[in-house]
Amino acid sequence: MIKYIFTRTIAMIPTFLLLTVFGFLLIELPPGDYVTSYIRAQAAQGNTSAADQEDSMRAQYGLDQPIVVRYGLWLSRFVRGDFGDSFEFRRPATEIIGSRLGVTLTISICAFLISWGIGIPLGIYSATHQYSRTDNFLTTVTFIGLGIPDFLLGLLLLVTVWMLTGEVLTGMNSSSYASAPWSVGKVLDFLKHLWIPVTAVVITGTAWIMRVMRGNLLDQLGRPYVTALRARGLPERVVIYKHAVRNALHPLVMSLGQTLAWLISGFTIISLVLDLPTIQSIYLRAMLQQDVYLGGTILILIGVLILIGTLLADILLAWLDPRIRLY
């Protein structure tokens, strides 16, 4: 196992380098650059003098150099922990990401734990009580949860709260607590805003996990090895939970790589709709503005989480299924 983990970790290095190349090229792919977007935005506001500063701005941001040179300079700083400065905000990319990381992880981890904690047991129950009234009800709720986007659910919750209380719970804090230091009152206000995005994401996430778990477990319960275990006289509880459920978890475990990346890249639209100070909203803005260093840093972070998640998924699969051998 240790040799396998070491080999996979070493193999991540060239994958990471390719990731930086494609990530940098992806941001550079649209025509123009940040200066072009900035001048266009200023012209739309009636400021035509910004075009006179085009050459000086490109020299200031290093955009007058060839793309290969800019990539090399960025990568050399990247491996030393210097991810560059945001063109738009004129602050280090790490500072901008760090200021939004806490809120992003709070929403993501809460939604992840609740979705998996509810979806897997409900999926097991639904599969073991196939075609019962409860199964039919859960299946109907699952289809509804999968069919309604999370941002629409967020809007519905937002409007419902406004109609009942008169409060508009956008963002993560009320205006009175926005710049206030952390206190018991600010924490309670934070929780009052937190439940709306978490609930919206949990409903869609739970529906997907429950649907996958139900389908996988039904498939496993129809396999010959389950029939053989029952024929040997094993208790139904052992057959289901020790053998069938363990094998049914494989597809969910394999999705762990994408799940870790989802902690940073998920629920982008709902972040915009509810005006959440998350990494997702700033990532979309950086990509639209061609803010190379900020957008590139977040993109690489997402890619690294996918690599780590894939490695963790392989290790968990080897633990779940003794038939898998890692060399």
Tell me the per-residue pLDDT of 50-85, one tens digit each, with 9 for 90 and over. 677 777 877 877 777 888 888 888 888 877 878 888
Burial call 129-152: b when 16+ CB within 10 Å, e when fewer: eeeeeebeebbeebeebeeeebbe
In the chain, the N- to C-terminal Cα span, in Å, equals 7
Decide if pLDDT at 113 tops 90.
Answer: yes
The pLDDT value given to residue 224: 93
Question: Which DSSP symbol is given to 277?
Answer: -
Average pLDDT over residues 275-302: 86
**Is this prediction's pTM over 0.75?**
yes
CA dist., res. 293 & res. 84, Å (int): 6
**What domains lie within the chain, and their CATH numbers?**
93-320 (1.10.3720.10)
Measured in whole angstroms, how far is the alpha carbon of residue 192 from the centre of its chain?
22
Q: Is residue 264 within 8 Å of residue 85, measured between CB atoms?
A: no
The pLDDT value given to residue 310: 84
Cα–Cα distances in Å, from 323 out to 68, 247, 278, 319?
A: 47, 11, 41, 9
Cα–Cα distances in Å, from 53 out to 12, 57, 292?
A: 42, 6, 20
